[in-house]
Amino acid sequence: MASNKKLLVLPGDGIGPEVVGEVRRIVDWMDQRRHVSFDISEGLVGGASIDAHGTPLTDETMAEAMNVDAVLFGSIGGPKWETLPFNSQPERGLLRLRKEMDLFANLRPAMVFDALADASSLKHELVAGLDIMILRELTGGVYFGEPRGIETLPSGERRGFNTQSYTESEIERVARVGFELAQKRNGKLCSVEKANVMESGVLWREVVSSIAGDYPDVTLSHMYADNCAMQIVRNPKQFDVIVTDNLFGDILSDCAAMLTGSLGMLPSASLGAEDPTTGRRMALYEPVHGSAPDIAGQGKANPLAEVLSFAMLLRYSFDMGEDADIIEAAVGNVLGAGIRTADIAAPGQTAISTSEMGTALLKELDKLAA
């Protein structure tokens, strides 16, 4: 059956192919049980592409990524390629994808499955059932602003400097993604900046407020970034979607991620601009973790971050929220039944392999879809 859902799968290096392999089994399951088919192509990225083609991303694979509806990415890197010159390293493949697809909106959910609430460094009751989304602007702000550099002053002392800079359109496009996310979730958007001390924050707040009228079903609030850091650890469940700039988002998303307790559980999405005529948005979905060379090839990797990235892909690129819900529910039920890979196993719990986790998920999906 021909499909209008074009997907490019880039498994990459280390545990990437192992965890992506478990998603491919879910894709097959969806084909058979829910009659959803994808038009899937698979490519090389990172070290695997360096070995085959001498570059971390070929022009052909880059062009394919621009042409599909969504890219599902595994992970890249490893000791084999660490000694290559900086510009030839595996990571350049991912950076090129992000840059050329102009992926300015980085979505990092922090979700705590009840069964894992004790793995968090916070108290059980603060994080059980947590489901918040940090939306970080990814292509602007102080990491890219000019002027930047290290200069030597007439006194001989050196001065390092960077520029925090946002245009109205850069703020508006990420804020609109934030409002749209809130519409698909619980209808609350919290915009985070430092308008009390930074002009870029004043503009940020003005622009976000000026478009709020377009989303009457979303309740907008504003918070200073330092207060937000406190609130994330004091009472994280007060939030639904947080939208913030590149620097604050970098810090706040890592902080929120740790509420969940494990790297093997964290998905992410990076979205580009919406094409006004087709409504299509460039998008790349990937787990937060890397290629985990220490466990690669041993069948020990936790595939759930990749599986949850795929659930995000269904929800945000294909508007298949119901299917995403079923996959997330299957993950919750499997964990609830005490099924664990080594990284999330509590003392005394038996750890299963990557593919056994995949099999457990498929069984659960069968039950949920029955």
Site string for ligand NAD, 287-326 (x = CB under 6 A): --xxxxxxx-----xx--x---------------------
Q: Does 75 bind ligand NAD (CB under 6 A)?
A: yes
Q: Is 250 a catalytic residue?
A: yes
| 327: Cβ contacts below 8 Å, ≥ 6 apart | 26, 307, 308, 310, 311, 314, 361, 365
Q: How far is the CB of 355 from ligand NAD (least distance, A)?
A: 13
Known active-site residue 194: yes
Active site residue 294: no
Tokens of 231: 């609130």
Tell me: does residue 78 bind ligand NAD (CB under 6 A): yes
Range 264-283, binding ligand NAD (CB under 6 A): 264
Whether 226 and 198 have beta carbons less than 8 Å apart is answered as no
Q: Which is nearer to ligand NAD, 77 or 249 (CB)?
A: 77
First to last CA, the chain: 23
Catalytic residue (choose from 28, 51, 118, 254):
254
Q: Between β-strands 131-137 and 351-352, what pairing exists: parallel, antiparallel or unpaired? A: unpaired
Q: For residue 342, give the H/E element and its range.
A: none
Cβ proximity of 324 and 315 under 8 Å: yes
Instruction: Identify the active-site residue in 13, 240, 250, 323.
Output: 250
* Nearest CA-CA partner of 239 in 250, 228, 247, 248: 228
Sequence-ordered alpha helix ranges (H) in 150-216: 168-184, 199-211
Q: Is 263 in the site for ligand NAD (CB under 6 A)?
A: yes
Report 327-366 residues binding ligand NAD (CB under 6 A): 343
Q: Tell me whether residue 76 or residue 189 sits nearer to ligand NAD (CB atom).
A: 76
* 7 closest CA partner among 53, 48, 40: 40
By C-beta, is 189 or 266 nearer to ligand NAD? Answer: 266
Instruction: For residue 149, list its beta bridge partners.
Output: 161
143 is catalytic: yes
**Which 200-229 residues touch ligand NAD, going by CB under 6 A?**
none
Our finding on whether 76 is near ligand NAD (CB under 6 A) is: yes
Residues that bind ligand NAD (CB under 6 A): 15, 19, 75-78, 91, 94, 263-264, 286, 289-295, 301-302, 305, 343
Active site residues: 143, 194, 226, 250, 254
